Amino acid sequence: MPLAHRIDHQLRLVLAWASGTLTDEEVFGYQTEVWSRPEVAGYYELVDMTAVEQVALPSIGRVLDLAALSAGMDARGATSRFAIVAPRDFEFALGRMYGSHRELDGRATKRVSVFRSRPEALAWLGLEDEPPATPEAGAARPDERT
């Protein structure tokens, strides 16, 4: 399961975990499937890439395409935060590039920041308690809503 997610309505947070080889198809699928749901508009987001072994991109331009798609899906009139956990340099750099391009898009209402560790990301999101860390720790399958 390279990309799984859980929606925590109580925390108003979408948690996602990537592992193994992460493809742009999976990331674009996650973006369109999750963020087209009206009930998550304005939610905070945490994507943890700690277990990613490889990112398979056909070109770096796909990061820019994803940033534009994401900004276009942001909830109007609601600001939120998106934390990316990326301990490895390559994923960290991709996250920074994505965040910069997304925030430059005039439609963006989500502030993006990239962190080396999960505790840093959680603190930036204002979360005192640790949500489930992995899908095995109680998170729903990608097709389940909680």
| Torsion angle defined by CA atoms of residues 126, 140, 7 and 124, in that order, rounded to the nearest 10 degrees | 20
Q: Is the dihedral of CA 124, 129, 135, 141 positive or negative?
A: negative
- Quickly state the pLDDT bin for 143 (edges 50, 70, 90): very low
* Residue 138 clears pLDDT 90, i.e. is over it: no
Asked if residue 142 belongs to a domain, the reply is no
**pLDDT value at position 132?**
55
- Count of domains forming the chain: 1
* Helix-, strand-, coil-residue percentages of the chain, each rounded to 5: 40, 30, 35
Asked if residue 15 belongs to a domain, the reply is yes
Asked if residue 145 belongs to a domain, the reply is no
Asked if residue 109 belongs to a domain, the reply is yes
- The parent domain of residue 34 ranges over 3-136
Residues contacting 45, CB < 8 A, separation 6+: 13, 14, 15, 16, 80, 81, 82, 83, 110
Asked if residue 141 belongs to a domain, the reply is no
pTM score above 0.85: yes
Asked if residue 27 belongs to a domain, the reply is yes
- CATH number of the domain encompassing residue 103: 3.30.750.24
- Quickly state the pLDDT bin for 130 (edges 50, 70, 90): confident
Mean pLDDT of 12-41: 95
Asked if residue 69 belongs to a domain, the reply is yes
Asked if residue 143 belongs to a domain, the reply is no
